[in-house]
């Protein structure tokens, strides 16, 4: 009888031990899974490099985003400006750190689209980066000063150019609007001279002064001067669809006028290739929360900021499409 009691006790203990081992195995069977409250958290501070000057269209929203990341993850966010060399300076600094989402940088489409064409010895390679999110996109506009030139449409500008050399206010060769001017005038067999005033704001001031027949500037720069009955008139955009955000105007696209020329201003965030996708996805969700916030909405309304919250894969496709277009234009007009 005593033996049976000991056997029963031993069997009970073995069952208890087996149950504990099984339970432990069940808990560790999926080490990568977490609940919503146990989502990934960074183990280091964030650094976001901006390859543009402080105070610009990229700088302010990035600093707002930094505050949201800091609150969401409980880690400080350092935003540092590293302008110059089409992002190569910021990219070189990013390359010094391991591939992790805490190390990011901003970017503009020129660093992957134009820099490889005009500076083949010094540019960033797309395959070295993983895209996180879009930030800003807006359209390029061809605008004229109708009071100074009498030009009020794209057709007027073409007719003028048949007998006159067009003067266009754009940035220096290597910039997006210089390539767009080369493309649209080249497609129409028109000659033009460029005036490089030193930036988009200066380009439109050149137009206001009557020192150029047209200018190619971002939609937000032109918006300050375009109004019904005013002298500055938008006559062409390089968007996919006609532009209707200027009250009283429907701006035709180059495509609708027979020119296959589509290119946007596009800025985004990226990190190093090799960064875990789950970490990228977590930060992207936090970015979307920031973009939907009342503070960010108020900022957009006051600054005419054109938010673009595309995910990383969409960003990559758009950058590649733009690179393909610019390569085609470069080969046709610049590499002769």
Which residues, at least 6 apart from 202, have a Cβ–Cβ distance to it below 8 Å? Answer: none
In the chain, where does the domain assigned CATH 3.40.190.150 lie?
40-137+265-334
Name the architecture of domain 139-257: 3-Layer(aba) Sandwich (3.40)
**Taking 70 as the threshold, does the pLDDT of residue 305 lie above it?**
yes
> How far apart are alpha carbons 120 and 114 in whole angstroms?
10
Q: pTM to 2 decimals? A: 0.84
Q: Judge whether 161 and 142 are in contact, CB under 8 Å.
A: no
**Contacts with 51 (C-beta within 8 Å, 6 or more apart), sequence order:** 82, 83, 84, 86, 87, 89, 90, 91, 105, 106, 107, 108, 111
pLDDT at 318: 96
Return the biggest CA–CA distance within the chain.
119
Calculate mean pLDDT across residues 95-100.
Answer: 96
CB-count burial class (<10 Å; 0-12, 13-18, 19+) for 105: buried
Tell me how crowded residue 295 is: count the other CB atoms within 10 A of its CB. Answer: 11
CATH number listed for the domain at residues 40-137+265-334: 3.40.190.150
Q: Can you name the residues that pair with 234 across neighbouring β-strands? A: 143
For residues 141 and 243, what is the distance between their CA atoms, to the nearest angstrom? 9
The CATH 3.40.190.10 domain(s) of the chain lie at 139-257
Q: Nearest to residue 141, comparing CAs of 203, 218, 233?
A: 218
Tens of pLDDT, residue by residue over 186-195, are 999 999 999 9
Question: What is the arithmetic mean of pLDDT over 96-101?
Answer: 96
pLDDT of 207 higher than 90: yes
- pLDDT of 212 over the 50 cut: yes
**Quick one: tokens of 20?**
């504990």
Residue 290's pLDDT band, with cuts at 50, 70 and 90, is very high
The whole-angstrom separation of Cα 202 and Cα 221 is 10
**Is residue 218's pLDDT more than 90?**
yes
**pLDDT, tens digit, 9 for 90 and up, residues 111-144:** 999 999 988 887 899 999 999 999 999 999 999 9
Encode pLDDT of 5-62 as tens digits.
444 444 444 444 344 333 444 333 333 333 333 578 899 999 999 998 888 889 999 9
CA dist 112 and 89 (Å) reads 14
pLDDT value, residue 304: 84
Q: In the numeric block, which tokens belong to residue 197? A: 């005033």
């Amino acid at each position: 009888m005593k033996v049976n009691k000991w056997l029963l006790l031993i069997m009970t203990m073995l069952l208890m031990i087996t149950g504990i081992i099984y339970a432990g195995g069940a808990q560790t069977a999926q080490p990568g899974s977490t609940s919503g409250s146990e989502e990934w958290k960074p183990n280091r501070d964030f650094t976001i490099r901006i390859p543009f000057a402080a105070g610009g269209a990229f700088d302010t929203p990035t600093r707002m985003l930094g505050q949201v990341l800091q609150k969401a993850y409980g880690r400080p966010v350092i935003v540092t400006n590293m302008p110059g060399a089409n992002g190569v300076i910021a990219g070189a600094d990013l390359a010094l750190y391991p591939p992790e989402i805490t190390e990011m940088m901003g970017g503009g489409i020129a660093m992957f689209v134009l820099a490889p064409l005009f500076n083949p010895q010094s540019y960033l390679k797309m395959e070295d980066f993983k895209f996180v999110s879009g930030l800003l996109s807006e359209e390029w506009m061809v605008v004229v000063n109708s009071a100074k030139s009498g030009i009020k449409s794209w057709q007027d500008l073409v007719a003028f150019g048949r007998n006159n050399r067009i003067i266009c206010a754009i940035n220096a060769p290597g910039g997006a609007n210089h390539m767009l001017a080369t493309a649209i005038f080249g497609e129409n067999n028109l000659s033009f001279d460029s005036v490089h005033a030193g930036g988009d704001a200066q380009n439109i001031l050149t137009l206001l002064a009557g020192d150029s027949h047209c200018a190619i500037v971002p939609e937000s720069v032109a918006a300050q001067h375009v109004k019904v009955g005013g002298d500055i008139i938008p006559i062409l955009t390089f968007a996919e669809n006609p532009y209707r955000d200027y009250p009283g105007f429907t701006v035709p696209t180059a495509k609708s006028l027979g020119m296959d020329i589509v290119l946007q201003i596009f800025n985004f965030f990226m990190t190093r290739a090799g960064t875990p996708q789950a970490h990228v996805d977590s930060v992207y969700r936090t970015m979307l929360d920031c973009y939907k916030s009342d503070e960010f909405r108020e900022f957009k309304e006051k600054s005419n900021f054109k938010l673009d919250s595309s995910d990383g894969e969409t960003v990559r496709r758009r950058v590649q499409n733009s690179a393909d277009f610019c390569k085609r234009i470069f080969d046709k007009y610049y590499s002769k």
